[in-house]
Amino acid sequence: MRRRDSEPLRELGWREWLALPELGVARIKAKVDTGARSSALYASAIETLPDGRVRFALRPLQNSGREQWCEAQLIDRRWVTDSGGRRELRPFIRTEAVLGGERWPIEISLSARDSMRFRMLLGRTAIAGRFTVDPAASYVQGRRVAKEHA
């Protein structure tokens, strides 16, 4: 497969490490989920600020007790149906993702679901036209995010 600009698409595995530099996240493990339209980030204590931004806490590394606070512009609130069929009205933000030498803006919903096994789901809208997915592979783009992009 090729991109619109005729470069070949890069390949991803079913899970990858990526960075969200505008949120101060140097690395977070994401499940690449082509069955999910939108990307999702596990966040807690989500609050809307008077200036139209959202403030939330997250733990980028799942087994770490280290929590960090982030702020981002709220771009929308949308109904999202999870894999269990539950509908939830979620806040959406736009931020840059860094993965496989690429840096591009993505939209992410914030969800306070403790049951999420991965701290982030990277949905098909975020990867469309950029990557293909090998569901049998993991960490195709490496176990660490390149420092020059994070």
The predicted pLDDT at position 148 comes to: 45
The predicted pLDDT at position 89 comes to: 94
Q: Which residue has the tokens 């701290």?
A: 119
Fold for domain 10-134? Answer: Cathepsin D, subunit A; domain 1 (2.40.70)
Contact 24, 95 (CB under 8 A): no
Contact 43, 110 (CB under 8 A): yes
The predicted pLDDT at position 23 comes to: 96
Q: What is the mean pLDDT of each run of 10 residues along the chain (150 residues)?
A: 69 95 94 93 94 93 81 96 87 96 95 79 94 94 60
The predicted pLDDT at position 7 comes to: 78
- Is the model's pTM score more than 0.85? yes
Of 23, 18, 13, residue with least CA distance to 101: 18
Domain positions in the chain are 10-134
CA angle (38 as vertex; 35, 42 as ends), nearest 5: 105
The predicted pLDDT at position 24 comes to: 94
CB atoms within 10 A of CB 64: 8
